[in-house]
Amino acid sequence: MTNIAIIGTGSISTAHIEAYLAMHETCKIVALADIYPKKAESIVRKYNLEARVVANYQELLNDSTIDAVSICSPPYTHAPIAIDFIKAGKHVLVEKPMASSLKECDEMIKASIESQKLLSVVAQNRFLTPIMRLKHVLDQNLIGKVAHAQVDSFWWRGHSYYDLWWRGTWEKEGGGCTLNHAVHHIDMLQWMLGLPTDIFAATTNALHDNAEVEDLSVAVLRYGNGSLAQVTSSVVHHGEEQQLIFQGEKARISVPWKVAAQVSKENGFPQEKNNVDLENRIQKVFNQYPELRFEGHTGQVNNFLKAINDGEQLLIDGTEGRKTLELITAIYKSANLGVNVKLPLLTDDPFYTREGMLANVKHFYEKQGSIENFSDDTITVGGNYE
């Protein structure tokens, strides 16, 4: 039995709690921490948990009954809390974004190696059947060289979204929609296509004048083989039509799922009829990949518990989480300095540290007013890509 503590009991914590409860044969939630302990107490009541509640997570560090923790607190707390628990001998599953800087990521990874404790970063969308199938098709190399990837990380959030005390600030949220919303799609992109060599980006804040951070960004990524990707990160898109499209030499594939394979006439124009044989072959490979038994956070928690108990490989460990943060940091560097950014970002780069980021990023607006808690903290977590 793996004993779990939940740190931060706001909106996303229920996804973790429900995932652990679905795995009740192998784990038990034994403690919750929140700086507003009343929130943790109401979670205990809601889920009928037998768990202790504390206001300061540090009270749990020396609790030898705890084996692992889920960190569901705001971004600026992720690195210090994760490092404290790893050093105290607990496995850590930390919500996205992994941390507020690459330096913090490196310190988390170092602590995990030294303590030999697992570190996993939430990217629950990888654990969705259509996403796994898309990745499977890409891995079979059926579409040929990928020339272009289009990533539409389209979300919509009303003005009041950024009124919550920690949101909309560089210091506490760590960034805007590129970091906190598009992180999901940027993670999938880097998982499927690897890291680019160059990035050029622009950010703006079009509709949220209560936030320091961007609510819209557009980035162009260049890969070593000459391919390009474009990533749009947004919380101003009504309808939240999120998609990833890969245009290969022989076919295009995407989530939501669609396959098309055009063929050339003698003069280079497309034939009227597509390559139906190839389309069918790709469709078959897509369908062959089995439906996942556990999806989203439940899928990731299942992977985390199996890694702890059976030595299963973590799909998203610290190194994977860091890659996504490196890409996002490069987008911020490019947009704020107006330069083409080459990867990797080195340790002497001003954007490597949290302090360097804070000194170099533009405040679109100053945050005025902030509320402690919304009365309704239920949330949605994006597309299902069906």
Ligand X SMILES: NC(=O)c1ccc[n+]([C@@H]2O[C@H](COP(=O)([O-])OP(=O)(O)OC[C@H]3O[C@@H](n4cnc5c(N)ncnc54)[C@H](O)[C@@H]3O)[C@@H](O)[C@H]2O)c1
Binding flag, residue 96, ligand X (CB under 6 A)? yes
Min dist CB 253 to ligand X, Å, is 24
Min dist CB 326 to ligand X, Å, is 18
Exposure class string for 178-206: b at 16+ Cβ within 10 A, else e: bbbbbbbbbbbbbbbbebbebbbbebebe
The count of residues interacting with ligand X (CB under 6 A) is 26
Min dist CB 148 to ligand X, Å, is 27
| Closer residue to ligand X in complex, CB, 34/278 | 34
Min dist CB 190 to ligand X, Å, is 17
The sign one gets for the Cα dihedral 253, 256, 257, 260 is negative
CA–CA gap between residue 99 and residue 174 (Å, rounded): 8
**Applying CB under 6 A, which part among 66-74, 100-108, 227-235, 341-349 lies near ligand X?**
66-74
Q: Which of 3, 10, 253, 334 binds ligand X (CB under 6 A)?
A: 10
| Closer residue to ligand X in complex, CB, 57/332 | 57
Q: Which of 43, 74, 211, 331 binds ligand X (CB under 6 A)?
A: 74
**Applying CB under 6 A, which part among 10-18, 20-28, 104-112, 142-150 lies near ligand X?**
10-18
Binding flag, residue 122, ligand X (CB under 6 A)? yes
Binding flag, residue 153, ligand X (CB under 6 A)? no
Q: Tell me the per-residue interface mask from 155 to 194 with ligand X, x by CB under 6 A, - otherwise.
A: ---------x---------------x--------------
CA–CA gap between residue 362 and residue 358 (Å, rounded): 9
Inter-residue long-range contacts of 104-108, CB under 8 Å, 24+ positions, other chains counted: 104/78, 104/79, 104/354, 105/79, 105/318, 105/321, 105/322, 105/325, 106/322, 107/79, 107/83, 108/79, 108/82, 108/83, 108/318
The sign one gets for the Cα dihedral 293, 299, 301, 304 is positive
Phi, psi of 317 (to 5 degrees): -95, -170
CA–CA gap between residue 10 and residue 364 (Å, rounded): 27
CA–CA gap between residue 58 and residue 72 (Å, rounded): 15
Binding flag, residue 127, ligand X (CB under 6 A)? no
Residue type, 150: Q
The sign one gets for the Cα dihedral 332, 337, 338, 343 is negative
| Closer residue to ligand X in complex, CB, 53/199 | 53
Which candidate, 155, 176, 158, places its Cα nearest to that of 166?
176
Q: Are 198 and 341 contacting, i.e. CB atoms less than 8 angstroms apart?
A: yes
CA–CA gap between residue 205 and residue 335 (Å, rounded): 12
Q: Which of 20, 34, 318, 324 binds ligand X (CB under 6 A)?
A: 34
Phi, psi of 266 (to 5 degrees): -55, -30
Closest residue to ligand X, judged by C-beta, is 10
Q: Which of 2, 11, 197, 370 binds ligand X (CB under 6 A)?
A: 11
**Applying CB under 6 A, which part among 67-75, 153-161, 186-194, 353-361 lies near ligand X?**
67-75
Binding flag, residue 142, ligand X (CB under 6 A)? no
Q: Which of 18, 21, 22, 35 binds ligand X (CB under 6 A)?
A: 35
Binding flag, residue 14, ligand X (CB under 6 A)? no
| DSSP-derived secondary structure letter, 8 | -
CA–CA gap between residue 258 and residue 272 (Å, rounded): 18
Binding flag, residue 33, ligand X (CB under 6 A)? yes
**Applying CB under 6 A, which part among 69-77, 144-152, 211-219, 317-325 lies near ligand X?**
69-77
Q: Which of 107, 209, 317, 377 binds ligand X (CB under 6 A)?
A: 377
Dihedral angle, C-alpha 38, 39, 42, 47, nearest 10 °: -140
| Closer residue to ligand X in complex, CB, 177/278 | 177
Residues lying near ligand X in the complex (CB under 6 A) are found at 7-12, 33-36, 39, 57, 72-75, 77, 95-96, 122, 124, 164, 180, 377, 379, 381
